[in-house]
Chains A and B, each alone.
Chain A
Amino acid sequence: MDGTLFSNARIIDPERGEIECGWLLQQRGSIVATGIGEPPAREGCEAIDCVGMCLAPGLIDAGVKVGEPGERHKESYQSAGAAAVAGGVTTIITRPDTKPAIDSPETLEFVKRRANTVSMANFLPMAALTKGRDGKEMTEIRLLQDAGAAAFSDCDRVIADTKVFARALSYARSCNALIIAHPQDQGLSVGATATAGKFASLRGLPAVSVMAERIGLERDIALVEMTKARYHADQVTTATALPALKRAKEGGLDITAGVSIHHLTLNSLDVADYRTFFKVKPPLRSEEDRCAAVQALSEGLIDVISSMHTPQDEESKRLPFEEAASGAVALETLLPAALRLYHGGQLSLTRLFQVLALNPANRLGLPAGRLRSGASADLILFDPDKPFVVDRHSLRSKSKNTPFDGQTLQGRILGTWVGGKRRFDGR
């Protein structure tokens, strides 16, 4: 059989910013043609009648933690891939905060080999920016690039030594490498498990001021101005940090910013009685900050939504709040959770797919995240309205630490195609 013809679909094209009823043809892993209305007759293709459901580019998720090497019991490439395609994520950008960190070409090659043999989704590895993510010596950036590193990040560890970070940024510039950093002032945020405010005070949790994020971002922006590096802030989650981001973008710096799905859909009060599944990094913010982040996303100030998928086993979460591990799994719930913003009238579907697919693809230079002919046939078919109740035990991730357990979300994936091959069937 030669290719697939999707007809009668609501086609969401984030690149043109339009939604139209029409058809799409993919052949040999690439999109060949799209059009409005009835498709031309075509022999020998698998024909899929989408019955008016949404057809869109698959999601590209920058910042997924897979537990290989070191913590395969929390998440393997196999389970992460299965969770990804079930959630409509066709490309995962993996984080190097593994044990040991992915900081050498040898480790990177091991990871690539593992992923390519077992994973159902595309995946691109990031590498650490400093050896062991210790913030002291930069990694072999060019060798890692040649081995396939898509970007460089020390993940949630901040390089506190400004001189080390400045050198790494400036060296990375000469390799045209993208740096993904976690804007946070380390001194202020040390030991914190909540955002400073009435809730944290009442619960007696060590807390960090939102200013820590602004200070971190302002510092990074100054360093980017100094070094002209390509920089992406992994999570900008507070209203107070947004003006700095705006200024930097207007000043022409090569800066983009992301935000995690949890900071867009949950706030600090959700922690309630020390619920550790809601412990993430940075900690959940106030409702005002959440609204500001959503607003910034709709205005184009924030560019990317990522899942910040962080699998944790039961043992690391069944602890007192301060001792429990941070992070939440999110690959499978990324799209339904993001659709909350669409159903709430805050983001259009086309904008949603810009921040979930097109923008991360552009930032990483991937030929995906769009429906233009010639692009990879990474596609999802979904029903944006269908409600379902999240049951954490039915997640495909090995770890079940989702904050949405028991909640009703809307949006069901009906099918996922990676490189033209059907990888998930949710009908």
Chain B
Amino acid sequence: MFLTQRHLLGIEQLAPDEIIAVLDLADRYANQNRQRSKLTKVLKGMTQVNMFFENSTRTQASFELAGKRLGADVMNMSLQASSIKKGETLIDTALTLNAMRPDILVARHPNSGAVGLLAEKVDCAVINAGDGRHQHPTQALLDALTIRRAKGRLQSLCIAICGDIAHSRVARSNILLLGQFDNRIRLIGPPTLMPSQVEQFGVEVYDDMAMGLKDVDVIMMLRLQRERMNGGFIPSEREYFYRFGLDGHKLAQAREDAIVMHPGPMNRGVEIDSEIADDINHSVIGEQVEMGVALRMATLHLLAQSLNSSTKRMQAS
């Protein structure tokens, strides 16, 4: 199995069978990660650079661990502090880095489309680890993996995505991915946090959470960022929790076997009740983190394989 694209910038560039291939491989890595010996040599000799223009602890750690378990040399660059402050442009940073000959670049940037711009200027494979409000494809893939493991399937599900949809790249990638597999997708949130004309994405939109959660199989909560509260999008944290926080009463509307997901980091008591976050009957939030490493190993593996084969083809011709 090879991916048809050199980079992973957005979900729309993956065909459904490619998504399944990534998830299948990730399943294998998930099992391997539970063994004492977790190392393989798939990326041996390769250099992976994690380039984060925006703060990240979890995603960066997840990619770092994934690369290391596959045998790559991993370097982390935290760029919000260094060159950007010195006035270097994104493209110059990319060209500088490209000259150091990395094989895989994992990039996050606060602006939509910025990782795609970077990918145009470098010779290696680029993975989008989140660009502005645009996309976060590995998060959607790991969510799909978590759903498939919990539910046994990835289609014919009713999935609710709740909270700040407008500013969420996770929501966009998830809508695109889950929409490819014949699922019903509901978006729940206040209209101030809903993108315009979002109903044209083939989703149902609710501003009443209890109604939106009726009989759903999967509940995806999104993080409400602190700056939104100051930006006048919602009146207060407590009103937000009252209307859109996931509590026992609202959860009771969903199917009995519904799972609760959250990409983290959580604001307990703002978008999710603490007890539900820890409820082992519903919450798969810990599993998501575990699947994150496995899924990123699978992504790195497949992109590296495509890189190798194209290099061989080039040498042969």
Q: Which residues of B contact A207 (CB under 8 A)?
A: 196
Is B116 in contact with chain A by the CB < 8 A criterion?
Answer: yes
In the complex, which residue of chain A has the Cβ closest to the Cβ of B165? A201
**B196 contacts A200, C-beta separation under 8 Å:** yes
A274 interface residue per 8 A CB criterion: yes
Q: Are B132 and A204 in contact (CB under 8 A)?
A: yes
Q: Which residues of B contact A274 (CB under 8 A)?
A: 112-113, 116-117
A197 to chain B, nearest CB (A): 5
| Contact A196–B196 (Cβ < 8 Å) | yes
- Asked if A427 is at the interface of the complex by the 8 Å CB criterion, the answer is no
| Selected contact of B196 from candidates A197, A204, A273, A321, CB within 8 Å | A197
Q: Mark B112-130, 1 if CB is under 8 A from A, else 0.
A: 1110110000000000000
User: Given A274-B117, A320-B117, A321-B112: A201 and B195 within 8 A (CB)?
Assistant: yes
> Count of A-B contacts with CB under 8 A?
65
Contact B172 A204 (CB under 8 A): yes
Q: Is the CB of B133 within 8 A of A204?
A: yes
Q: Are A320 and B114 in contact (CB under 8 A)?
A: yes
Q: Check if A343 is an interface residue, CB within 8 A of chain B.
A: no
Complexed CA–CA distance, A226 and B114 (Å): 46
Verify A273–B197 contact, CB threshold 8 A: no
A residues 194-248 in Cβ contact with B at 8 Å: 196-198, 200-207, 209
| A28 contacts the other chain (CB 8 A) | no
Q: A203-B134, A322-B132, A323-B111 are in contact. Are A198 and B89 (CB under 8 A)?
A: no
A164-197 interface mask toward B, CB cutoff 8 Å, 1 = contact, 0 = none? 0000000000000000000000000000000011
Shortest beta-carbon distance from B203 to chain A in Å: 11
Contacting pair A318 B89 (CB below 8 A): yes
Asked if A201 and B111 sit within 8 Å, CB to CB, the answer is no
A43: interface (CB < 8 Å) = no
B87-124 with Cβ < 8 A to chain A = 89-91, 109, 111-114, 116-117
For the complex, count residues of B whose C-beta is within 8 A of A. Answer: 23
Q: With CB as the reference atom, state the residue of chain A lying closest to B134.
A: A204
Residues of the B chain whose Cβ atoms lie less than 8 Å from the Cβ of A315: 89
A-side binding surface: helix, strand, loop or mixed? loop
Q: Are B113 and A201 in contact (CB under 8 A)?
A: no
Shortest Cβ distance from residue A26 to the other chain B in the assembled complex, whole angstroms = 50
Q: Determine whether B200 belongs to the interface, using a CB cutoff of 8 Å to chain A.
A: yes
In the complex, what residues of B have CB within 8 A of residue A322's CB? Answer: 111-113, 132
Q: Does A143 contact B (CB under 8 A)?
A: no
- Given known pairs A203-B134, A209-B196, A273-B116, the reply for A320 and B111 (CB within 8 Å) is yes
A197–B112 contact, CB under 8 A?
Answer: no
The residue from B109, B172, B196 contacting A320, defined by CB atoms under 8 A apart: B109
Could you tell me the distance between the alpha carbons of A230 and B266 in the complex, rounded to whole angstroms? 56
Give every chain B residue within 8 A of A201 (Cβ-Cβ). 195-198, 201
B135: interface (CB < 8 Å): yes
In the complex, B69 has a CB within 8 A of chain A = no
Task: Answer yes or no: A319 CB below 8 A from chain B CBs.
Answer: yes
Question: Which A residues lie within 8 Å of B91 (CB)?
Answer: 318-319
Q: How far is the CB of B27 from chain A (nearest CB, A)?
A: 30
Residue pair B109, A204 in contact (C-beta under 8 Å):
no
B111 & A321 in contact (Cβ 8 Å cutoff): yes
Interface hits, B163-206 → A, CB 8 Å = 169, 172, 195-198, 200-201
In the complex, per-residue mask of B250-275: 1 if CB is within 8 Å of any chain A CB, else 0: 00000000000000000000000000
Cβ contacts under 8 Å, A320 to chain B: 90, 109, 111-114, 117, 132
Q: Which residues of A contact B197 (CB under 8 A)?
A: 196-198, 201
Q: Output the least CB separation between B212 and chain A (Å).
A: 19
In the complex, what residues of B have CB within 8 A of residue A321's CB? 111-113
B196 to chain A minimum Cβ distance, whole angstroms, is: 4
Once the chains bind, are A319 and B90 in contact (CB under 8 Å)? Answer: yes
- Measured between beta carbons, the chain A residues less than 8 angstroms from B131 are 204
A204 vs B200: C-alpha distance in the bound complex, in angstroms?
15
How far in angstroms is the closest Cβ of chain B from A9? 48
A203 touching B111 in the complex, CB below 8 Å, given contacts A318-B91, A320-B90, A322-B132:
no
A198 to B172, CA, bound (A): 12
Interface residues of B (CB under 8 A from A): 89-91, 109, 111-114, 116-117, 131-135, 169, 172, 195-198, 200-201
A–B pairs, 10, beta carbons within 8 Å: A201-B196, A203-B134, A204-B113, A205-B112, A205-B113, A273-B116, A274-B113, A319-B90, A320-B109, A322-B113
Lowest 7 CB-CB distances: which A-B pairs, in order?
Answer: A204-B133, A274-B113, A201-B195, A204-B134, A320-B111, A320-B114, A196-B196
